[in-house]
Amino acid sequence: MKYDALFQSFNFKSGIEIENRIVMAPMTHFASNDDGSISDAELKYYSERANGPGLIITACANVTANGKAFPGQPAVDRDEMITGLRTLAETIKKNGAKAVLQIHHGGRECPPELVPNGDVVSASDVESSQGVQARALKEEEVAEIIRAFGEATRRAIEAGFDGVEIHGANGYLLQQFFSPFSNRRNDKWGGSLEKRLSFPMAIVDEVKNAVSAHAKEPFLIGYRLSPEEPHEPGITMKETFTLLDALVEKDLDYIHISLQEFWSKPRRGTTDTRSRIEIIQERIGDKVPVIGVGSIYTAEDAIKAKETNIPLIALGRELIIEPHWVEKIKAGEEATIQTALKKDDQERLVIPAQLWQAIVNAPGWFPFN
């Protein structure tokens, strides 16, 4: 009874219903084949975690060849990928979860060795966080990428996914266009705050058009964003409010707030001292459902987060550490939930070798005991 709030069904405005309030957050797994096709290791990883959450959002899939940001990233940039993506969707959906494909372009955060001719692109000629020099996209290239998000959505529909999540977070291309730090253009795609909004809004419109043209059944459209940037100039909470208000007008199924820590507080752009997620929920929560995420490990963490009136709670790292988190709470076995990795956990938890290596080589990313 204590955790009933996590197990209520939820209906999105598109007509999709999920059986509980737990979402598997999109997480890079580095496990797709080199050509971006879906691997057996990837399918086993999702299969192990597909029995509990109501909604599963995949690792981000690049919509163009020059948008690949990770080794082992799944691709949705060409029709040859549809067969493997269909198997992935079926694997996720086999026990009742809804499957959402996250669609993505890495922009200036793409390693040169992963993109054609090492040609790294962004909103402007700005270095990446790794010191890679990107070049500004030409206007016709901007239009091509917008079209690519629509084509990726068509492929997701053909592959049997229940929706797409537009990746506008974590410093990737959509955020690069919105940020005053990385967008220094003076054409229709940059300059004022309104013009910096143009690219992400054009992508939302293109995705919506693709759904209207190709989906014969209800199909979700979500958008993920990071509410602030740490550097100046950079996105502030005040600018995020403008982005949120614009997204609300697009009649989306949900907005997903990307946070490392659910209860983190604003840096600047507001005098409100509550957590960012509470501020955002108050601003838009009665207009579009919000997904909250960030360092939620235990059932108690999730229930406390739910008390903010956020309707949907996403788990990322915890569903790698404890693939059967939802089932254990439902069975009254929440005391047996694992909240930290052990050094010999890889095989038992069906974690792809590439992801395991990334975890081991990034101290502090995951808790270990």
CB contact set of 92 (below 8 Å; sequence gap of 6+):
46, 50, 56, 58, 99
Give me the active site residues, please. 172
Residue 1 confidence (pLDDT): 81
Superfamily of domain 4-360: Aldolase class I (3.20.20.70)
Mutual angle of helices 139-158 and 198-214, in 10-degree steps: 40
Task: For residue 333, count other CB atoms closer than 10 A to its CB.
Answer: 12
Assess contact for 252 and 205: CB atoms under 8 A: no
Parts of the chain with a pLDDT under 50: none
**DSSP string for residues in 207-257:** HHHHHHHH-SS--EEEEEE-S--SSSSS--HHHHHHHHHHHHTTT-SEEEE
3-state DSSP call for residue 328? helix
Residue 108 backbone phi and psi in degrees, to 5: -70, -10
Q: pLDDT for 5-62, tens place per residue?
A: 999 999 999 999 999 999 999 999 999 999 999 999 999 999 999 999 999 999 999 9
In eight-state DSSP terms, residue 322 is -
Would the CA dihedral through 162, 165, 166, 167 be positive or negative? negative
Domain boundaries, the chain: 4-360
Measuring CA to CA, how many Å separate 323 from each of 216, 276, 300?
32, 28, 17
The span from the CA of 158 to the CA of 67, in Å, is 21
